[in-house]
Amino acid sequence: MTIRALRDDYHGEFKDSLEKFGGAQLVYLGWDKHQMFCSSRAFPLPPEMRFQELLDNVMPEAFGQHPEFNQIDWNKAQWILDNSAFQPDHSKSLTELDIGHKSLLRLVTPELTGYKGAGI
């Protein structure tokens, strides 16, 4: 049973389905062990955006306030997409990389341990 309701055929409207974002898709971006940012962030992005554009334009907006941001070596960065390890080709688009609507993309930088090495 997917809900206990007065009517067995009750169906809830999907409030956040893809078509509601005016051509964009939602992508959540997180930076593991960098808790200066209290949580991962939600960004509406065009599905045809190249990964390189995401690195150049979106990542600074998401995480540029962090003192370690400029030390990130993007060629060594590790990624977790929807809970699986992920190796993006920077020239491909979100769609080509299977970064879907409401996907969670996490950046992992083991050599950067956060403010005072405390995961912050």
Partner 1 sequence: MSPKKLNLKDKYKLLTRDLDWEFSYEDRKEAFPYEEFEGIKITDWDKWEDPFRLTMESYWKYQAEKEKKLYAIYDAFAQNNGQTNVTDARYVNAIKLFLTGVSPGEHAAHLGFAFTGRQMGGIGARVAAQMQSIDELRHIQTQIHAMSHYNKFFDGFDEFNHMHDRLWYLSVPKSFFEDARTAGPFEFMIAIGFSFEYVLTNLLFVPFMSGAAYNGDMATVTFGFSAQSDEARHMTLGLEIIKFILEQHEDNLPIVQKWLDKWLWRGYRLLTLVAMMMDYMLPQKVMSWQEAWELYFEDAGGSLFKDLERYGIKMPDYTETIKQEKEHLSHQAWWIFYQYTHAAAFHTWTPTAEEMDWLSEKYPDTFDKYYRPRWELAAEMEAKGERFYTTGLPQLCQTCQIPMAFTEMSDPTQVSYRESIYNDERFHFCSDPCKSIFDNEPEKYVHAWLPVHQILQGNCGGGGLDKVMEYYHLDDGVANLEFEGSPDAERWKEWKGVA
Q: What does 74-116 look like in DSSP terms, one character per residue?
A: TTT-EEEETTEEE---TTSBTTTTT--TTEEEEEE-TT---GG
d(CA 65, CA 22): 29
Q: Name the residue nearer to partner 1 (CB basis): 35 or 71.
A: 35
* Residues in contact with partner 1 by the rule CB under 8 A: 1-6, 10-17, 20-22, 24, 26, 28, 30, 32-33, 35-44, 61-62, 64-65, 82-83, 100-104, 106, 114-116, 118-120
Cβ neighbours for 55, distance < 8 A, ≥ 6 positions apart: 74, 90
Q: Name the residue nearer to partner 1 (CB basis): 17 or 74.
A: 17
Q: Name the residue nearer to partner 1 (CB basis): 43 or 92.
A: 43
d(CA 4, CA 6): 7
Smallest gap from residue 91 Cβ to partner 1 (A): 25
Smallest gap from residue 3 Cβ to partner 1 (A): 4
Q: Name the residue nearer to partner 1 (CB basis): 91 or 99.
A: 99
